[in-house]
Amino acid sequence: MDRPVHLTNIFDPVSTPAQAILELSWLVLWICAGIFVIVVVLLTYILIRFRRRRADTDEPPQVYGSNQIELAWTVIPLLTVVVLFLVTARTIRAVQNVVPSAEALHVTIVGHQWWWEIRYPTLGIVTANEVHVPVSDRARPQPTFLRLESVDVAHSFWVPRLAGKTDVIPNRDNYMWIEPFEVGLYLGQCAEYCGTQHANMLLRVMVHTRDDFERWVTAQQQPPVRDLSVQAGRDLFQATACVNCHTVRETVANGTFGPDLSHLMSRGTLGAGVVDNTPHNLQAWMQNPQHLKPGNLMPDMKLTPQELEHIVAYLATLK
Amino acid sequence: MAFAESPLAQPQAETPRLPLLVQLHDWVVTVDHKRLGIMYICTGLLFFAVAGLEASIMRWQLAFPNHDVVSPAVFNRLFTMHGTTMVFLVGMPLILGLANYLIPLMIGARDLAFPRLNAFGFWLSLFGGALLYFSYLGGEGLTGAGTAPDVGWFAYAPLTERAFSRGHSTDYWILSLLVGGIGSVATSINIVTTVVCMRCQGMTLARMPLFVWMLLVVAGMILLIMPPLTAAQIMLLLDRYLGARFFDTQAGGSALLWQHFFWIFGHPEVYVLMLPGFAAASEIIPVFSRKPMFGYAAMVGATLAIAFIGMGVWAHHMFTVGMSTMANTFFAASTMLIAVPTGIKIFNWLATMYGGKIRFATPMLFCTGFLFQFLCAGLTGIMLAAPPFDWQLSDSYFVVAHFHYVLIGGLLFTIFAAIYYWFPKATGKMLSETLGQWHFWLLVIGFNLTFGPQHIAGILGMPRRIYTYAPGRGWELWNLLSSVGVAFQALAVLCFVWNVIRALRQGPPAGDDPWDAWTLEWTTTSPPPEYNFETLPEVQSRRPLWDLKHPHDPDWHHE
């Protein structure tokens, strides 16, 4: 990749719907630029040409209107609007009326205050804040269809280089699709105000080659790593209230309020993008969850330093 | 013509100064439309300072990535209060204040139709605003969660439900808007009645100043849009306190229902705020171009068209909520259609200036700024009207830039134009041209520096309402420029404040008609007496003073 991976520029699409939107956007932009130039030139000319010269106190000729001219600047804009509307309507249909093909991947995105739950219902995978999808190519199109749900308030799923945003609304299922044609990491974030930590709901979409995607799926489908050297931490984890909100598969931890931790260390960030996911940051996060992301809904578990060390050691093995 | 011989044209005898307490008492008990108008405008300007301060803190927070000036909770309260204040406590009082002060003078009436209702409306608006700001003290409530409201100015459900918004801060938001809304409806009824029933002899609807026409349309719109907002507020109160489930999604309620209710108020509200700006420009541009308004009938028609179409575009705020293809297409069409009457207005203003002898006094300068900036606002509006483009731009900083170009670059500039234009009438003193020019140029620089770069931040993927952002997203420069612009805007406002204080203390006397203008308010003294006109005027054209000044070529030969 020669371009920086972090840019979220809508003028740099790498996915079919974002590309379709950009093509329409250029047309709209050019029409608007044309109108802008015409009006600004006219206005500037009038301001300079018809400014009052000093000591000129005569009134200019009084003109009250002209039906022909007024008709002209009603009809011409009207025709422009009709053209603009027809092209827009075509793009709306092209992006919105797409039916999933047989080979399409289905992913369910669930908005939470203030993180994203990512579910692959056909693959049996649950993760958080990172969407992994295979790349598409013209010979073998591989779109991904997203079903958007919310468990609490309204959010909005927006990864500018892949597609326009779609709101994630409780008690309503929304759908959108992406079809990325370049491998890489694409960022986005929640675009509908959803409360205190609206700013820290980062979305990371990893577009893999098909082989890499298969490898990722296989890894995620494995049961969590069982490392006997951290048995103490594992026991402690299962004995605290952590398990009420978090899931680690094949343990007593089956909460669904917080992110699934079965493969915690396979993810890049903590707290939906506030810090990199390292054992050090994990310890800082657990020591005082309100410090790194004030207002987030994870309570301070009041762990002793020793307990903390054990649990972090255990979680750090969940690759 | 009756007003020509009016003895009121002579300066009034100096009256002895009353004690301060008596003067204040007079202001509190007044039912005079001019005093209420001035109080509305002062209320609007006071809240403008407060909301501007809130915005400055937000810009300081966002000037640098990961900047830590205020906590996330405080930031969220700041943008909620900033937006709510600017729309309901700055925009509404300013436009209602101008309407209050000018309409009776322009149609040759002695007051509004219901002076006491007028006072009632003003005090409701003021106390509604006070109630909103009292939330800083009282919002915490018994269950303890935050102080001022933090749900955003359009308060999307279900964030406003008790599960997500504890304490009383949201209740203050609901109740203060409810109270202020009743005030706006009262004043609108008053404006409609006054314009329909109290025009002077000879002033047919077709001879009304465009300002009055547009404010009549605005008052009609307020009467149509306030009820849905009020209904939604009451439904939300029922949800919060009596266990209703209108918007409670966890009990089967609908989040979208709120959005429909809010925007069927909220979008026409934009035109309610913007049309008075057009109204002021339609009075000021002709006077300083020394020509009558080009295409009077088309201007009235375009105003009615904007109002009518404007009632059917609300869901363009909801292109991203997953509406059907049909709904998206319909609202794209209606929204784009608005561009046509708006375009007619812009071209008519240009045609008015074309062939004129334009004098760049401060009011005209502000109107020129308005024309440039409102053009930008209109064009970004067309971009947002195309749903696919909107799927990218909605809820990003591009939208923030767009509506600030509408409401600051468009509305606020025309409000300042109006204040510079009618201040001499209201006070009898002239504002300083030098300070006015400073005010204008600093505001043009500051405004464009603040909101221009926000278009780019939005295109680069920056969502609105975030209290912080990480470095490396390409947003740093645009945010820094945006924050620097605030300093220029603050200086501009200081120039204005100083200009007003200075003019009130030592401004040169204005005389009755300092701008050589044409409408009825310039026939009476500055400031006008309590009864406005000694004998009610009689008009024969749209520009009664032109007829008077040019008896050989009066307007009624041409209309």
Three-class DSSP labels, A188-210:
EECCCCCCCCHHHCEEEEEEECH
Cα separation, B553 vs B372, in Å, equals 34
- Which tens digits make up the pLDDT trace of A22-74? 999 999 999 999 999 999 999 999 999 999 988 778 899 999 999 999 999 99
Reading the block at residue B78, the tokens are 């700041």
DSSP string, B77-117: HHHHHHHHIIIIIIIHHHHHHHHHHHHHHHTT-SS-S-HHH
**Within its chain, how far is the Cα of A98 from the centroid?**
20
Torsion of CA B130, B31, B103, B192, to 10 degrees: 80
Please list, in sequence order, all residues whose beta carbon lies within 8 angstroms of the beta carbon of residue A306, skipping any fewer than 6 positions away.
none
The pLDDT, as a whole number, for residue B15 is 65
A190 at interface of B, judged by CB pairs closer than 8 A:
yes
Beta carbons within 10 angstroms of residue B162's beta carbon: 17
The pLDDT, as a whole number, for residue A6 is 63
Reading the block at residue B288, the tokens are 């300083």
Residue spans per domain, chain B: 31-547
Please list, in sequence order, all residues whose beta carbon lies within 8 angstroms of the beta carbon of residue B103, skipping any fewer than 6 positions away.
B33, B109, B112, B191, B194, B195, B211, B212, B215
Reading the block at residue B544, the tokens are 């009664």
Strands (E), chain A: 105-112, 115-120, 125-128, 130-134, 144-150, 155-157, 166-168, 174-178, 184-189, 202-208, 269-270, 275-276
DSSP code at position B7: G
Contact yes or no for B295 and A70 at CB 8 A: yes
The pLDDT, as a whole number, for residue B9 is 46
CA angle B302, B303, B309 (to 5 degrees): 85
Upper half-sphere CA count for residue B132 (Cβ side, 13 Å): 31
Which of B295, B355, B472 is opposite residue A61, by nearest beta carbon? B355
The pLDDT, as a whole number, for residue B5 is 46
Contact yes or no for B472 and A6 at CB 8 A: yes
The pLDDT, as a whole number, for residue B3 is 45
In this predicted structure, which of B132-136, B401-405, B492-496 has the lowest mean pLDDT? B132-136
> Is the ipTM beyond the 0.90 threshold?
yes
Average pLDDT of the segment spanning B3-24: 65
Contact yes or no for A65 and B295 at CB 8 A: yes
B116 at interface of A, judged by CB pairs closer than 8 A:
no
Q: Is the pLDDT score of B510 beyond 50? A: yes
The pLDDT, as a whole number, for residue A138 is 84
Q: Dihedrals φ, ψ of A112, to 5°?
A: -125, 160
Reading the block at residue B219, the tokens are 């008052």
- Which tens digits make up the pLDDT trace of A136-174? 998 889 999 999 999 999 999 999 999 999 999 999 999
B463 at interface of A, judged by CB pairs closer than 8 A:
yes
Average pLDDT of the segment spanning A177-186: 95
The pLDDT, as a whole number, for residue B113 is 96
Contacts of A11 in chain B (CB under 8 A): 459
- Which tens digits make up the pLDDT trace of B295-353? 999 999 999 999 999 999 999 999 999 999 999 999 999 999 999 999 999 999 999 99
Beta carbons within 10 angstroms of residue A56's beta carbon: 10
Q: Is the pLDDT score of B161 beyond 50? A: yes
Contacts of A40 in chain B (CB under 8 A): 372, 375
Residue A307 to chain B, least CA–CA distance (Å):
30
Which band of pLDDT confidence, cut at 50, 70 and 90, is reported for residue B4?
very low
Residue B506 to chain A, least CA–CA distance (Å):
27
B104 at interface of A, judged by CB pairs closer than 8 A:
no
Which helix (H) or strand (E) is B535 found in, with range? Answer: none
Cα separation, A163 vs A186, in Å, equals 11
- Which tens digits make up the pLDDT trace of A221-260? 999 999 999 999 999 999 999 999 999 999 999 999 999 9
Cα separation, B165 vs B248, in Å, equals 12
**Within its chain, how far is the Cα of B219 from the centroid?**
13
**Average pLDDT along chain A:** 94
Residue bearing the bigger pLDDT, A196 or B16:
A196
Contact B114, B193 (CB under 8 A): yes
Contact A108, A121 (CB under 8 A): yes
B2 at interface of A, judged by CB pairs closer than 8 A:
no
Contact A216, A209 (CB under 8 A): no
To which residue do tokens 């043009």 refer? B444
Please list, in sequence order, all residues whose beta carbon lies within 8 angstroms of the beta carbon of residue B162, skipping any fewer than 6 positions away.
B239, B240
Q: How far apart are the first and last CA of chain B?
A: 19
In chain B, what percentage of residues exceed pLDDT 70?
A: 96
Q: Which residues of chain B from 338 to 397 reach within 8 Å of chain A, CB to CB?
A: 339-340, 343-344, 346-348, 350-351, 353-360, 368, 371-372, 375-376, 379-380, 382-383, 386-396
B154 at interface of A, judged by CB pairs closer than 8 A:
no
Nearest chain A residue to B70, by CA: A294
Domain B31-547 -> CATH class: mainly alpha
Cα separation, B184 vs B121, in Å, equals 6
**Average pLDDT along chain B:** 94
Please list, in sequence order, all residues whose beta carbon lies within 8 angstroms of the beta carbon of residue B495, skipping any fewer than 6 positions away.
B435, B438, B439, B442
The pLDDT, as a whole number, for residue B170 is 94
Cα separation, A29 vs A231, in Å, equals 61
Contact yes or no for B322 and A46 at CB 8 A: no
To which residue do tokens 């029409």 refer? A31
The pLDDT, as a whole number, for residue B13 is 52
